[in-house]
Amino acid sequence: MKLSNLPPKGMYDWFPKEYKIRKYIFDTWRSVCTSYGYEEYLTPTLENADVYRAKSGEDIGGKELMVFKDKVGRELALRPEMTPSVTRMLSRKINELPKPIRYFSIANFFRNEKPQKGRNREFWQLNFDIFGDSSLNADLEVLQIAIEIMLAFNPPKGSFKLFINNRKLIDYIVKSFGISDTSKVDIIRTLDKIGKISKEDIEEKLLNLGIEENTVSKIYKIFSSENEELFIREFPEIEESDVYKDTLKIFSFLESLGYSEYVEFKPSLMRGFDYYDGLIFEVFDTNKENPRAMFGGGRYNGLSEIFGVAPFSAVGAAPGDETLRLFIKNWNLEQNIIEIKEDVYFLPVLDKKLYFKTLEIAKKLRKEGKVVVQELNKKSLRDALDTANKRGYKYTVIFGEYELKDGVYKIKNMESGEENSVKYS
């Protein structure tokens, strides 16, 4: 039987040319995070499936979860996101580690969803989080990093927006309609679909949750509005709440740091994950070719409780590789990709009898810190120089019978044509 040479649906091979843009994205992520003093970590690719079923939402923790059984029948899942995994990891040592904990990771994830533009079944994400600090300053730092990550790709003015809301504000409004805590999660999951499905479908889902028809209309009007004034007009008492005042402080801080053009309050922003319990935000691509949320994050102080551990403070975000790749492509930012090339030394085999000696020369050059591509088979000097030119190697190391006789090897600069002899010993 002939096997297919294609990867599974929704997953992709990256040849070096395609990998270059991913490496650029990963390197940029890592550079920004380390500049803020974040430490890199990693968790297993497989987790107990219940880790995600508990709080990741009905899609990611349900129908999109890729689940397997091990030999004794335990259900394991390929990780669809990092937040529950890193929370599980930290729940073992949270009391031993100095606070705040600043962690980041770059890892691959899997979701059994329909492949489409910006969504693959295997994808890569940066996750950066602060643990053990509940202050507004931690929220602010995460928001600042989210903006700086975008700015690191040198995008044009107005190419992205960071929308901000707070789950506590949402909870307040939902409760003001007399909706119980038991129904709140389902309602927020439904409201998170605003803009993704029709108004009629949203209202039907809310009615099916047992909400009265006149209340459904009010809820939809408030949460589908982009108008902060309507939000305040309907609930004037919110202006005196600590959570609203804290939200205003965040905007004030961001403005003082020069980020005001990038940020906006958005009442309809929900974030579909059940574990968020404070600040929530999303970074949105404004390009007409790709008008979509690229990534988001927020505060999730209570997630550790699913592991039987006392709640500890946590706030973070998770940019993905594919949405950023589309952002770079649609805003014509590929020219910003700087490929750092090492000066490569190409060492051809000009005489079969000298192959071992060329290996010794290659070893010597590598010990000097040089990058050496050793030819595996004999080539004429003309063919060797042609190969070096085609592959963009900067230097060719020439070692044949004449060089052996003189006790040297020659290094030819392929750009200038200059040759230098180096004593072979």
Q: Can you say which residues are annotated as belonging to the binding site for L-histidine?
A: 81-83, 111, 125, 129, 271, 275-276
Per the structure block, which two tokens stand in for 66? Answer: 């890729």
The one-letter code for the residue type at 3 is L
The one-letter code for the residue type at 135 is S
CA pseudo-torsion sign 400, 402, 405, 410? negative
Q: How many CA atoms are closer than 13 Å to the CA of 62, on its beta-carbon side?
A: 8
Residue ranges of the annotated binding site are 81-83, 111, 125, 129, 271, 275-276
323 sits in the region (left: phi over 0; alpha: psi -120 to 50; else beta) called: alpha
The one-letter code for the residue type at 281 is F
Separation of alpha carbons 8 and 13, rounded Å: 10
Question: Starting from the edge strand earliest in sequence, which strands make up the sheet with 279-285, in order?
Answer: 39-40, 101-110, 122-131, 314-317, 292-299, 279-285, 160-166, 263-265
Give, in order, the Cα–Cα distances in Å from 61 to each of 66, 124, 135, 282, 315: 9, 18, 29, 20, 20
∠ CA 262-130-284 to the nearest 5 degrees?
A: 25
Give, in order, the Cα–Cα distances in Å from 381 to each of 346, 398, 418, 419: 12, 8, 16, 14
